[in-house]
């Protein structure tokens, strides 16, 4: 018998428990043990029902993702599910935690399902670039109906136990002891001689969904947002098969689609991001260091970032005080926050009482002394070293000893900011991305003096706020913005060489980004970058001229594009085209056609080159950290795995050769292949090999 699965008898009920921490993933040994014990229970005359449950924090949270891409080992998850389904004795899944993916499919193969109240159930495979491969696309719609199944499978989002019960996915919610409740449920099923209806044969909910035209229309709402990902279309095809094929054939088709996807590059990239996300916050000398318990937070600055960060705390249940020296700015900032909440509530995204609770957790003050008892203070004032140092000097005199003082700077030197205090060990960078209450990335910047406790607290707070923390070192623009800077320079260069804003943006959205650099700049406001460039003595040939003409982007209805009043759809503007053509002519640049692939390479390869420099300097510790930063902070398509993973998939020798050609063409020294890129390319290696 496998150690990971055990059995006990409660009179005539066999309770089979999977115990494979941390999340009871269905690895090979679990499948062997489970199949063995289910078969034994079926063959045991003393047993009349079987309960399948899990020890620890959750029911099976899926197949073991580390086994994907390796040769399959028998028995497969499907063989286990089919053995349970074929059992002449009732099999009951007793779920808690997060039954996900293969875990929920296991439960779908059981005759009955019961769950603890806090359980969240889902099929998140789409987030890994695959589809459910253990019958989920066939059994789930038969239990919850096609609309709900489509929403769950195409979004990958789990649903709470109560909703699952209402939809027919869960037969009973067990308050109190789950195992005892499941055993009692099993006894009732036996006593009442309830028929063992197999999920695969329950077609009543599909009968009302046989209108394929309606199905296709609903599915199109999901696939049109796929941005080049293959899994959504495959999920739709598998679901459609539930309506158009006999169940055995449909299950076979689901399996084929799954196997195809799991062997493909997109799923490989998405699995890479799954593990990289979990690695990015791991720092060797911080492992095991206890984070400070954060009960009260403060944010300095009531601007867009400050307000967004305050919302993050309020959403996570932590009271937060926003400080702004100007009473008017404070009132304006708090007003924006309240309006944001009200809009979300009006759209149905937040219950009224929850909205009030969140708003109630945010206090405002103009008096810095009011935050003396905060456990963490995040500064989000104007991006200027002098201003930041002055604020940190004042915070140093007010904030209680032991508290963490963080800066939300997006470029500036954390060490220089820390020097403005008598406690540099308490200072750390926490770089949120705009809008701070939405974007998942948090660059945690470790200064030279940042203590392990401070760093551990910044990471833990990031997790509590629902962010993906990635630890980076001090460097101008840290990791994300330092690489972005190269892309921005290149995007402007492409305009002068022959592209138009829509060509550049179109090439990147075609690659899978949600937005191109020019539409993005218009959204963020061109004046922001203009001010920053001026402060740093930098220029951007086209953007600077647009700003001089008062074209600041969406807020002035004109930027790189034109906007209808109140609308957000960019429209190409002949005036901008003239400006580009004239500027190129003044500089003696002959404009010519540029293909999509060339545009993508020109934008991404210099960034990858900079990523290699960042790795060599130790500013990022792993290539995967850079990938996480780009996927969660800048919309790099997850199915391409982030810039460094993508570079490996293209091949570093090719990238080196192209960069050499770009350096020749543009005369930009930053385009020369960096030493690390050269070394790896010459050795025929990829970035992924750096950790080996
Ligand atoms: N396989 C292998 N390892 C897994 C895993 C899985 N399915 N799920 C989680 N882990 C690992 C994580 O990598 C992490 O490892 P480290 O501690 O070494 O970093 C550890 O388990 C704990 O995970 P989290 O840090 O994510 O813990 P959490 O409590 O924050 O979240 C969770 C738990 C919600 C289950 C989350 O881990 C999760 O979403 N897991 C993935 C679930 C999933 O996608 N399942 C579907 C798999 S595909 C499938 O099942 C295909 C099929 O149909 C046949």
139-196 pLDDT, tens digit per residue, is 999 999 999 999 999 999 999 999 999 999 999 999 999 999 999 999 999 999 999 9
Least confident range of 79-83, 146-150, 362-366, 530-534: 530-534
Query: Which protein residue's CA is at the shortest distance from atom 24 of ligand 1?
Result: 278
* 1 has a pLDDT exceeding 70: no
- Separation between Cα atoms, residue 255 and residue 414, nearest integer Å: 51
Q: Which atom of ligand 1 is nearest to the CA of 105?
A: 53
| Catalytic residue from among 82, 125, 379, 610 | 125
Confidence band for 261, pLDDT divided at 50, 70 and 90? very high
Confidence of residue 2 (pLDDT cuts 50, 70, 90): low
pLDDT at 282 over 90: no
Give dist(CA 491, CA 600) in Å, integer: 10
386-398 pLDDT per residue, tens: 999 999 999 999 9
Average pLDDT over residues 627-636: 97
Q: Which two tokens stand for residue 150?
A: 């489509």
Report the nearest-CA residue for atom 19 of ligand 1.
Answer: 278
What pLDDT score was predicted for residue 295? 97
Mean pLDDT, residues 459-467: 97
Closest atom of ligand 1 to CA, residue 275: 13
* Between 72 and 32, residue with greater pLDDT: 32
Average pLDDT of the chain is: 95
Residue that is written with structure tokens 């930009």 in the block: 668
Could you tell me what percent of the chain has a pLDDT over 90? Answer: 91
As a whole number of angstroms, the distance between CA 60 and CA 55 comes to 9
Cα–ligand 1 centroid distance for 103 (angstroms): 11
How confident is the model over 537-543, as a mean pLDDT? Answer: 94
Q: Ligand 1 mean position to 419 CA, how many Å? A: 41
In this predicted structure, the answer to whether residue 529 has a pLDDT above a threshold of 90 is: no
Active site residue 125: yes
* Token pair recorded at residue 297: 């937070």
What is the pLDDT at residue 567? 84
DSSP 579-597: HHHHHHHHTTPPP----HH
How many whole angstroms separate alpha carbon 673 and alpha carbon 691? 21
In this prediction, residues 267-272 reach a mean pLDDT of 97
Q: Could you tell me what percentage of the chain is helix, strand and coil, using 3-state DSSP and rounding each to the nearest 5?
A: 55, 10, 35
Q: Is 105 a catalytic residue?
A: yes
Q: Say what the pLDDT of residue 511 is.
A: 97
pLDDT at 209 over 80: no
CA max distance for the chain? 92
Q: Give the C-alpha separation, 424 to 529, whole Å.
A: 29
Indicate which residue's Cα is closest to atom 26 of ligand 1: 278
Mean pLDDT of 330-342: 96
- Report pTM: 0.94
Pocket of ligand 1 (CB under 6 A): 22-23, 25, 61-66, 77, 98, 100-102, 105, 124-125, 128, 132-134, 136, 275, 278
Residue 133 CA: which ligand 1 atom is closest? 53
Going by pLDDT thresholds of 50, 70 and 90, the confidence category of residue 208 is: confident
pLDDT at residue number 692: 65
CA dihedral 373→376→377→380, nearest 10 degrees, is -160
Helix (H) / strand (E) containing 102 = helix 102-109
> Binning pLDDT at 50, 70 and 90, where does residue 610 land?
very high
Pick the residue whose CA is nearest to atom 35 on ligand 1: 61
Higher pLDDT, 317 or 535: 317
pLDDT in tens, 34-78: 999 999 999 999 999 999 999 999 999 999 999 998 888 999 999
pLDDT tens, position by position, 495-516: 999 999 999 999 999 999 999 9
> Mean of the pLDDT values across residues 71-93?
96
Average pLDDT for 369-398: 94
Residue 72 has what pLDDT? 86
**Ligand 1 atom closest to 131 (CA):** 53
DSSP H/E element including 140: helix 136-144
- Tell me the residue length of the chain: 692
The residue contributing the CA closest to ligand 1 atom 14 is 278
pLDDT greater than 90 at residue 554 = yes
């Amino acid at each position: 018998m496998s150690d990971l699965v055990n059995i006990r008898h409660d009179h005539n009920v066999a309770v089979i428990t999977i115990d494979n921490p941390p999340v009871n993933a269905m690895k090979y040994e679990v499948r062997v043990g489970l199949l063995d014990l289910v078969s034994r229970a079926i063959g045991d005359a003393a047993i009349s029902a079987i309960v399948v449950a899990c020890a620890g924090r959750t029911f099976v949270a899926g197949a073991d993702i580390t086994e994907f891409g390796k040769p399959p080992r028998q028995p497969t998850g499907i063989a286990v599910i089919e053995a349970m389904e074929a059992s002449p004795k009732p099999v009951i899944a007793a779920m808690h935690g997060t039954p996900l993916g293969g875990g929920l499919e296991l439960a779908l193969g059981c005759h009955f399902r019961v769950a603890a109240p806090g359980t969240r159930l889902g099929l998140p495979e789409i987030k890994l670039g695959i589809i459910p491969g253990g019958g989920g696309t066939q059994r789930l719609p038969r239990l919850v109906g096609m609309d709900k199944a489509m929403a769950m499978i195409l979004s990958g989002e789990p649903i709470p136990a109560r909703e699952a019960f209402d939809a027919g996915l869960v037969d009973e919610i067990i308050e109190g002891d789950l195992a005892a409740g499941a055993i009692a449920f099993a006894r009732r099923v036996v006593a009442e001689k309830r028929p063992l209806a197999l999920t695969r044969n329950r077609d009543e909910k599909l009968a009302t969904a046989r209108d394929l035209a309606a199905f296709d229309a609903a599915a199109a709402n999901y696939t049109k947002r796929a941005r080049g990902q293959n899994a959504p279309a495959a999920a739709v095809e598998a679901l459609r098969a539930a309506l158009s094929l006999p169940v055995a054939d449909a299950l076979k088709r689901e399996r084929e689609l799954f196997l195809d996807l799991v062997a493909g590059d997109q799923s490989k990239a998405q699995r890479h991001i799954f593990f990289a996300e979990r690695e990015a916050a791991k720092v060797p000398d911080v492992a095991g260091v206890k984070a400070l318990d954060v009960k009260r937070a403060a944010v300095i600055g009531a601007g867009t970032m400050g307000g967004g960060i305050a919302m993050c705390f309020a959403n996570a249940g932590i009271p937060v005080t926003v400080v702004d020296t100007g009473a008017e700015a404070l009132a304006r900032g708090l007003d924006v926050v309240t309006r944001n909440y009200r809009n979300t509530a009006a759209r149905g995204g937040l219950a009224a009482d929850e909205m009030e609770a969140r708003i109630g957790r945010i206090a405002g003050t103009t008096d810095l002394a009011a935050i003396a008892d905060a456990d963490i203070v995040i500064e989000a004032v104007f991006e200027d070293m002098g201003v930041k140092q002055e604020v940190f000097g004042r915070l140093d005199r007010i904030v209680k000893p032991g508290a963490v003082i963080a800066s939300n700077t997006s470029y500036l030197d954390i060490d220089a900011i820390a020097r403005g205090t008598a406690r540099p060990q308490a200072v750390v960078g926490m770089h949120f991305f705009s809008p701070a209450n939405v974007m998942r990335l948090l660059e945690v910047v470790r200064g030279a003096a940042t203590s392990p406790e401070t760093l551990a607290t910044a990471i833990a707070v990031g997790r509590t706020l629902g962010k993906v923390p990635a630890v980076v070192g001090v460097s101008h623009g840290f990791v994300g913005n330092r690489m972005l800077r190269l892309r921005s320079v290149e995007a402007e260069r492409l305009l002068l060489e022959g592209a138009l804003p829509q060509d550049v943006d179109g090439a990147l959205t075609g690659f899978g980004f949600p937005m191109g650099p020019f539409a993005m700049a218009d959204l963020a406001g061109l004046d922001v970058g203009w001010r920053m460039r001026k402060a740093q003595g930098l220029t951007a040939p086209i953007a600077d001229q647009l700003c001089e003409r008062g074209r600041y982007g969406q807020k002035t209805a004109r930027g790189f594009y034109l906007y209808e009043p109140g609308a957000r759809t960019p429209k190409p503007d002949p005036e901008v085209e003239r400006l580009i053509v004239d500027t190129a002519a003044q500089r003696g640049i002959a404009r010519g056609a540029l293909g999509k692939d060339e545009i993508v390479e020109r934008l991404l390869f210099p960034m990858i080159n900079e990523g290699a420099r960042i790795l060599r300097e130790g500013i990022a510790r792993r290539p995967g950290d850079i990938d996480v930063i780009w996927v969660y902070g800048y919309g790099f398509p997850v199915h391409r795995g982030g810039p460094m993973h993508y570079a490996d998939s293209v091949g570093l020798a090719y990238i080196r050769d192209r960069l050499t050609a770009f350096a020749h063409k543009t005369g930009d020294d930053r385009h020369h292949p960096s030493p690390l890129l050269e070394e790896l390319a010459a050795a025929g290696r990829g970035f992924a090999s750096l950790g080996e």
